[in-house]
Structure 1
Amino acid sequence: MWATILITSVLVLVLHEVWTFVNWVWFRPRKMEKLLRKQGLKGNSYRFLFGDARESAKMYDESYAKPIDLNEDHFNRVMPFISKTLRTYGEMSFLWFGPRPCVLITDDELIKTVINNHMVFKKPFKVSNPIARRQIGGLVRYEGEEWSNSKKKLSPHFHLEKLKNMVPIMQKSGERILQQWNKLVPNDGSPTVFDIYPYLPDYSATVLANSLFGIPFTESVKKTFHLIRELTFIALHAQPFSIKGEQYVPTKRYRRANAIEKELTETFTNLMYEKLAQRERGEVNGEPTLHDTLLDDLNEIDIKDKKTRAWVIGEIVYQCKLFFLAGHETTANLIGWTILLLSRHQEWQTRAREEALQVIGDKEKITDDELERLKVVTIELTRVVEDDTPLGDLVLPKGTMVQLLGIHLHRNPKYWGDDALEFKPERFAEGVLKAANGHSAFMPFGGGVRKCLGATMALREAKMFVALFLRSFSFDLSPTYKHGPIVQMNMQPQYGLPLILRKLRV
């Protein structure tokens, strides 16, 4: 009798798991596809389990295999499958992340709706691949009250007064990089060609380590940044959906991801205990850093409550990884692309240099007010709905993903005019809204309540470095440069950024 009950229970459990899997990979996607098509959305027909993943991966491989012309629209290279989908099916289209449909959002008003309703349109970490889930946590992953409380606690570190205090660190870090370049370029004004791009992440990483964590940029810290970038690369090249239990399969990808995660956890845990020990010895001076604020969470936990304490430590590690990743990659690439454009458009390089020399000249100490006076030098989002959700004229079935195509928004002639793809900084002379014909069509750091917390800091860093660079060197794009924008966490030059440099100051 008991044997019969046991066998029956096992069969029921097995049948339940089989049904759950079949429903996930076939019946539910087919039902969602029917609902989307009924509302006028178009896209490829669903293909079992993988959806568009295989075709998309093949297109990325082909796209990244060779450079493109400098004047070619890089959207087709960095997002080839999405670009093809829009060309084939129009702006009312969707694609497949495995067994989940993803609706492409290109309209500025709909993008604003999604951004401003973050409680409804949530980040898709529950459905992304396991490597991405373990890599990104903390503030960017939080929702609801947890997110609100965390942002409230961390926001003061990015207020104006705090940022003003970071300006000397930005200047010192930038000058350290430029001193290295000075050694490579002759004093007689003759040109030298070398790739500047590898230096840029070191600049932004130094600023971040010094100002937000209160630590020097040592070789150990530099290695930590490199490991985080490697983990990002692994996550982005994994399939965009997860199969139950796949993270336990000892593939080469997961073995390396596990090794990196283990090392990062040890590094940030050790960093945490070092800072706590310094506190106890009274060796921490000056204003509390962002790292100090993160560690304050431990003060609220009873030391005997080991389970809760371990969870809090895990969250602190996630937050550290997040700021190490987002805090230097974005800024480094912003600087790189700005310098590329100035090297191609010499008239704007001249105007920017004249402004920099007029405002900061040869000053040994640059102030925040002077950075604010530099005007010429001023320099992708996915969500998932957890219930049937209205969006404009659409009703998105539960589980549908939406992708906000900022890169498409920023180059759409509907908002910017027929010269949308041309380099015309003067279009912003009367503000972003006027430039985009009254539309909110410029969101380089996201928007709404979940706009990037470090946006203002990143812009100050970029301004500082570009201004210092302009007053020290003139530069042209090297003939050896190959144009290959590629998306890692954000867009960066696949083949580096070789420039022809000439000293302006000896």
Structure 2
Amino acid sequence: MEELLEIVLVVSTILLGLALVYLYEILWLRLEKIRKKLRRQGINGPKPTFLYGNTQEMKRIRQELKFVQRQDKDMNGYISTIFPHFLFWRKTYGPVFLYSTGVLEILHVAQPEMVKDMGHWTPSELGKPQHIMKSRKPLFGLGILAANGDLWAYEKKILAPQFFVEKIKGMIGLIVDATVPLLQSWENMLDGTGGSKEIYVDGYLRNFSADVIARACFGSNFVEGKDIFCKLRQLQKLISEQDTLVGLSAVWKYLPTKRNREIQKLDQEVRLLILDLSREDRSRSRSNNAGTHVSTYDNLLHAIVDGANQSPSYCSAPEDFIVDNCKNIYFAGYETTAVTATWCLMLLAAHPDWQDRARAEIREVCCGQTAMDIDVLRQLKILTMVIQETLRLYPPASLIMREALTGIRLGGVDVPRGTIIQVAISLLHLDMEAWGPDANEFRPDRFANGAAAACKPAHMYMPFGYGPRLCTGQNLAMAELKVVLARLLSKFSFSVSPGYQHSPVFRLTIEPESGMPLVVTRLA
């Protein structure tokens, strides 16, 4: 018996030793190899510590700058409160620096040539990081926003044609229809108030955008898809809170904590709802029942279901393929557009001169008609500039994260395999060398000659991403933004609420921390 215990003790000691060696390799030696290769090429950054990397310094910088008050003229300089460590390290080490979370080695890139070179690599060479695919799996699965390589290429082949301009032309009527309940709800709220009232507009815009993506892409409406949108919104909040955990605390993502159990529960509920929706769509397809503007048998969901049934062997199981890509479209198709519309109204409320100019153009182009088509939207030049400037100041996807899946070269720097490359879009969009000394100011006229002429170099403007993974749904997003803003500005004027506290927060997208209250006034 004693011999058996000794053997068990020896084996346990050996296993523990091997586990510690493995952890040391993963948490230090592997990252140190990456650091050495990059430092030899002149890439510097804050010195990391074992287990914690630079996370303690990140917390210290955030805490020190937490209560720093910005001047009103720097209203759009929210980077100093959301990502203060980026600003501090950039000032110390330059536009390219290296830092560690304790489990990841991150190369922060803001040098134009290196950013440009990122667009030259394929998703099989420079892909979505494995840790993001794991930590955000309940929200994205292996859909188009998270997949790499052949799977991503197949998903793009299935989804991209659904967002071509010809398809968007047929969706504009649906978008206009979706504005009707939004406008009516605000009209009802203003009755008996003298025609003016404070409204938290962000929730209404989120519902509107959800209705659009449900009608246009899934052959349903917001009422039918409400549970899916609400649960995905809850998932987004829980996962964004979880993403603030760095270093060793990241292991909590895999433990049976209360938050993780809630994430798993929501994930399963969303899965069942989406599969029910796909079964309903198949049933309607068989009956060949036409919808109002887009037939239910020719919508995005039908394309996803067909793609799942015909998918190559390297794809996930058909049900997973359907669920994951529907999640991606739901999130990317409504959350990012809704938050952009919210910031648009805030900026127009804060700059009444631009609000007046946009409204005058809308009246001239639309002539009081509610019907819209692609030609009408193309004539809204001022409104387009307003949207482009909003996307510059408040890009919905604030960070691009990629992993070098093989050794690559960026701007003359050899980046070793396993390095995480990070581009802070917000920093690029506020770079004074690219945009001029007024980079923090709301100036839509900088886009008067188009996005390519707004800054130098042109690729420093990337609200819809950059390179092969350029946002598939950008045509739909722009059409939706133009329609809803044109309809709202033709009916109401907006001013900033006296109680509004400007506090953008990072929840996978940049959004107002406590909602967006605006004073909405009915126009004569």
* Cα separation, 2, equivalents of 1:309 and 1:140: 15
Q: 1:122 to 1:354 in 2, by over 3 A?
A: same
1:332 aligns to 2:338 (yes or no): yes
1:465 aligns to 2:484 (yes or no): yes
Give TM-score, length-normalised by structure 1: 0.90
**What does the per-residue CA deviation read over 1:390-447, in whole Å, with 9 as the maximum and x for residues that have no partner?**
2222222221111012111111111111121122111111222322135322110012
Is the deviation greater in 50-59 or in 409-418?
50-59
| Equivalence for 2:442 | 423
1:291 aligns to 2:301 (yes or no): yes
* Cα separation, 1, equivalents of 2:415 and 2:187: 56
Q: Indicate the SS of the match to 2:119.
A: helix
1:175 aligns to 2:180 (yes or no): yes
| Equivalence for 1:134 | 138
Q: Which of 404, 412, 423 is the equivalent residue of 1:404?
A: 423
**What does the per-residue CA deviation read over 1:18-57, in whole Å, with 9 as the maximum and x for residues that have no partner?**
3221111122223322332222222221222232334435
The answer to whether the Cα contact below 8 Å between 1:129 and 1:241 also exists between their aligned partners in 2 is no
* Cα separation, 1, equivalents of 2:307 and 2:459: 37
Q: 1:254 to 1:7 in 2, by over 3 A?
A: same
**What does the per-residue CA deviation read over 1:127-154, in whole Å, with 9 as the maximum and x for residues that have no partner?**
2384313322311222223222221221
Q: Which of 473, 494, 503 is the equivalent residue of 2:513?
A: 494
* Cα separation, 2, equivalents of 1:269 and 1:56: 42
| Equivalence for 1:160 | 165
Q: Indicate the SS of the match to 1:140.
A: coil
* Cα separation, 2, equivalents of 1:64 and 1:494: 15
* Cα separation, 2, equivalents of 1:16 and 1:419: 56
Q: 1:438 to 1:101 in 2, by over 3 A?
A: closer
1:92 aligns to 2:92 (yes or no): no
Q: Which of 327, 346, 357 is the equivalent residue of 2:363?
A: 357
* Cα separation, 2, equivalents of 1:265 and 1:50: 35
The answer to whether the Cα contact below 8 Å between 2:138 and 2:263 also exists between their aligned partners in 1 is no
| Equivalence for 2:391 | none
**What does the per-residue CA deviation read over 1:288-345, in whole Å, with 9 as the maximum and x for residues that have no partner?**
111001111354489xxxx999822012101111111111111011111111111111
Q: 1:278 to 1:358 in 2, by over 3 A?
A: same
Is the deviation greater in 229-238 or in 464-473?
229-238
Q: 1:362 to 1:222 in 2, by over 3 A?
A: same
Q: 1:150 to 1:241 in 2, by over 3 A?
A: farther
Any residues of structure 2 matched to 1:437-476 within 5 Å, and which? 437-476=456-495
Q: 1:60 to 1:296 in 2, by over 3 A?
A: farther
Q: 1:292 to 1:54 in 2, by over 3 A?
A: farther
Letter in 2 for 1:26: W
Q: 1:113 to 1:375 in 2, by over 3 A?
A: same
Q: Which of 369, 373, 378 is the equivalent residue of 1:372?
A: 378
Q: Indicate the SS of the match to 1:102.
A: strand
Q: 1:487 to 1:266 in 2, by over 3 A?
A: same
* Cα separation, 2, equivalents of 1:471 and 1:63: 41
5+ long unaligned stretches in structure 1? none
* Cα separation, 2, equivalents of 1:464 and 1:404: 31
Q: 1:242 to 1:383 in 2, by over 3 A?
A: farther
* Cα separation, 2, equivalents of 1:92 and 1:300: 44
* Cα separation, 2, equivalents of 1:217 and 1:133: 24
1:205 aligns to 2:210 (yes or no): yes
**What does the per-residue CA deviation read over 1:445-492, in whole Å, with 9 as the maximum and x for residues that have no partner?**
012221000011101101111111111011211111110111112111
Is the deviation greater in 18-27 or in 346-355?
18-27
Q: Which of 341, 347, 350 is the equivalent residue of 1:341?
A: 347
Letter in 1 for 2:78: H
Q: Indicate the SS of the match to 1:237.
A: helix
Give TM-score, length-normalised by structure 2: 0.87
Letter in 1 for 2:23: F
| Equivalence for 2:392 | none
* Cα separation, 2, equivalents of 1:392 and 1:364: 50
| Equivalence for 1:262 | 268
Shift of 1:493: 1.0
**What does the per-residue CA deviation read over 1:262-303, in whole Å, with 9 as the maximum and x for residues that have no partner?**
11111112222222233344446625111001111354489x
Q: Indicate the SS of the match to 2:403.
A: strand
Letter in 2 for 1:421: N
5+ long unaligned stretches in structure 2? 388-398
The answer to whether the Cα contact below 8 Å between 1:189 and 1:504 also exists between their aligned partners in 2 is no
Q: 1:61 to 1:375 in 2, by over 3 A?
A: farther
The answer to whether the Cα contact below 8 Å between 1:213 and 1:290 also exists between their aligned partners in 2 is yes
Q: Indicate the SS of the match to 1:376.
A: helix
Aligned residues: 498
* Cα separation, 1, equivalents of 2:282 and 2:521: 47
| Equivalence for 1:184 | 189
Q: Which of 304, 307, 329 is the equivalent residue of 1:323?
A: 329
* Cα separation, 2, equivalents of 1:456 and 1:28: 42
* Cα separation, 1, equivalents of 2:454 and 2:184: 38
Q: Indicate the SS of the match to 2:481.
A: helix
The answer to whether the Cα contact below 8 Å between 1:340 and 1:477 also exists between their aligned partners in 2 is yes
Letter in 2 for 1:228: L
Is the deviation greater in 42-51 or in 254-263?
42-51
Q: Indicate the SS of the match to 1:71.
A: helix
Q: 1:243 to 1:488 in 2, by over 3 A?
A: closer
Q: Indicate the SS of the match to 1:377.
A: helix
| Equivalence for 1:47 | 49
Q: Indicate the SS of the match to 1:94.
A: strand
Letter in 2 for 1:30: E
RMSD between aligned alpha carbons?
Answer: 2.9
Letter in 1 for 2:40: K
